[in-house]
Structure 1
Amino acid sequence: MTEEQERVQPSGVWATAVGVAKVRARESERADALFRDPLAQAFATAGGRGPSSSPPPDDEADRRRRAGLALSIVIRTKFLDDLLRQATASGVRQVVLLGAGMDSRAFRMDWPEGTRLFEVDTAEPLDFKASVLRRERAVARCERITVAVDLREDWPSALAEAGHDPTEPTVWIAEGLLIYLPEDAVELLLARIGAQSAAGSRMGLTLGSRGVIERFGVDAAPGSAVSMWVSEMPDDPVSWLAGHGWEAGSHTLRECAAAYGRPMTSPPQRAEGPGGLISALRP
């Protein structure tokens, strides 16, 4: 471990981003990868989740849970990649990643000229990320702007100070974020997003399916990502988002996995509907 890694070690909710990077690194090695993330392994290794790290306990139930969570990360990544491409094809040139973590879309995707991508997260993960990007000599493919602010604070003001223009359409991404926020915080986040969204804005969300905390969180190890889940989606996410001024579509992981050629082999669970992958438009 390098001196720089010893100074900055992931902790708390943002540390889950390192685990997500590990999943994306493994997907990138597949011949039939749904996406390729050339920075994912560097993030995982810097966060202590590299190839030489100790494997998790070989418990069958735990293995199934981890495999299911890994597949969900792969599918949601592909889903949101496609949503971003559709948004920029429609003319949107502002992208905001809320709780950006180790997201490398600014570096791995092709962006139209004039695209500005804002990564919003707290200073600690952004600093950790910056150290890895420097070592990798990574070059963004769009104008990338980091905004160090806690989403529990006045992040819209910080975003505006960084150059975001609420009079122009924006595509918002909240990936693997809302399940860590209590219901009142989720409602506030959606209200703030709506206040900064011009007509033609898009939004991509991942939501915790009904019953997912019961299925995966009951035996979760203290401090693990699953142990920090606190919220699930409403019974009718489309109507919920309509109340916030969005025209939304809801998709299940199983539906998208099948469409992407990665059908889920586990039997359907009652808690899988409605869908936890959301695409939305601001009319």
Structure 2
Amino acid sequence: MTAALDAVERTALLTAALRAAETLREDRLYEDPYAAVLAGEIGPALLAEIRNATFPAGRERSVPSTPDYNAIRTRFFDDYLQRAAEDPATTQIVLAPAGMDSRAHRLTWPDRVRWFEIDRPAVLAYKEERLGGAAPGVDHRKVAVDLTSPDWEQSLRAAGYDPTLPSTWLLEGLLYYIPEADAHRILQRVAAISAPGSRIAADIVNSAALTLPHMRALLDVFADWGCPWLFGTDEPEALFESCGYTAQALQPGEEGAGFGRWPDPVPPRTERDVRRVFFVHGRRR
């Protein structure tokens, strides 16, 4: 089944392998008992390549620590989604794309929540095969469609999504893999089917992270896999605000986005020509 996954789709197996590795740590930030089976054999091999680029033998690390970043990102969005679910008005949570995410299975959700997972058919088929009979602990709706298709909103509605009700969206590990125009288009389309007050969260890199020489070792791994990083922005709040949201952005290591695990200094936003990652979250106006 993994042979049916293309380069971008296989990055979901890398994420699963990172989550499986985090689950084995004594100081883990979360526990994902499904991650290892979802990663399969390919995920650990991809992770080995990332580790070789991140922690080169005989040289200091110059690129962000992908294992630490992924652990922080997963925990940050775990907490974000669970806080959103505490709001009695929250009845719809949408993961787009869903990848190998197992939050529907490993976390507890209120009975009122409908959980939608959007991803390409091959990804959802692989995931279903790997999970076997594992049952999610929430009203779980799979939407097998590409986010670049002209009518994915129709498929989402057919699965039971109601655009007149507030929703919470998570776009995790997506925006830097797509061209800038597509990033704007997806955010605009999400906003168009999100009621006022709806929540959104995503991660994104800055522009310099795509061009700085010391990032090349990591960027080359993704490019060699056939899924280069294509988009970054130094103004993530403005990006989301242009699409109809009020937004805030945190960098890993800042208060509320570090969990004691970010190993690098956090550069002030005024500093130029440094790599950054942002966790963006906002509300539909």
TM-score range, shorter chain: 0.7 to 0.9
Cα separation, partners in 2 of 1:58 and 1:223, compared to 1, 3 Å:
closer
Alignment correspondent of 2:254: 255
- TM-score normalised by L of structure 1: 0.86
- TM-score normalised by L of structure 2: 0.85
Give the RMSD, CA atoms, in angstroms.
Answer: 2.7
Q: Secondary structure at the match of 1:207?
A: strand
CA-to-aligned-CA distance 1:21-76 (integer Å, 9 cap, x gap):
1110111111221111111000112x4235x9994485676573676122221111
Shift of residue 266, structure 1, vs aligned partner = 6.1
Alignment correspondent of 2:119: 121
The residue correspondences of 1:55-74 to structure 2 (distance < 5 A) are: 55-56=48-49, 58=52, 62=56, 64=61, 68-74=65-71
Whether the 8 Å contact between 2:19 and 2:35 is mirrored in structure 1 is yes
Q: Which moved more, 1:159-168 or 1:271-280?
A: 271-280
Alignment correspondent of 2:142: 146
The residue correspondences of 1:27-46 to structure 2 (distance < 5 A) are: 27-45=22-40
Q: Secondary structure at the match of 1:248?
A: strand
Letter aligned with residue 49 of structure 1: G
Alignment correspondent of 1:49: 43
Structure-2 separation of matches of 1:53 and 1:192 = 32
Alignment correspondent of 1:280: 282
Whether the 8 Å contact between 1:254 and 1:263 is mirrored in structure 2 is yes
Q: Secondary structure at the match of 2:94?
A: strand
Structure-2 separation of matches of 1:58 and 1:174 = 27
Structure-2 separation of matches of 1:152 and 1:170 = 20
Whether the 8 Å contact between 1:168 and 1:197 is mirrored in structure 2 is yes
Cα separation, partners in 2 of 1:222 and 1:115, compared to 1, 3 Å:
closer
Letter aligned with residue 193 of structure 1: V
Structure-1 separation of matches of 2:171 and 2:47 = 30
The residue correspondences of 1:224-243 to structure 2 (distance < 5 A) are: 224=224, 227-233=227-233, 235-243=234-242
Whether the 8 Å contact between 1:252 and 1:273 is mirrored in structure 2 is no
Structure 1 stretches of 5 or more lacking a match?
A: none
For these two proteins, the number of residue pairs brought into alignment is 273
Alignment correspondent of 2:7: 12
Cα separation, partners in 2 of 1:225 and 1:42, compared to 1, 3 Å:
same
Structure-2 separation of matches of 1:184 and 1:211 = 18
CA-to-aligned-CA distance 1:121-169 (integer Å, 9 cap, x gap):
11111110010011xx311010111111111112111111111000111
Alignment correspondent of 2:105: 107
Letter aligned with residue 8 of structure 2: V
Structure-2 separation of matches of 1:162 and 1:114 = 16
Alignment correspondent of 2:165: 168
Alignment correspondent of 1:80: 77
Structure-2 separation of matches of 1:271 and 1:282 = 31
Q: Secondary structure at the match of 1:30?
A: coil
Correspondent of 2:201 among 190, 201, 204: 204
Structure-1 separation of matches of 2:189 and 2:53 = 42
Cα separation, partners in 2 of 1:24 and 1:257, compared to 1, 3 Å:
farther
Moved segments of 4+, more than 3 Å: 7-10, 52-67, 221-227, 256-259, 265-275
CA-to-aligned-CA distance 1:182-210 (integer Å, 9 cap, x gap):
11111110111111111221011111223
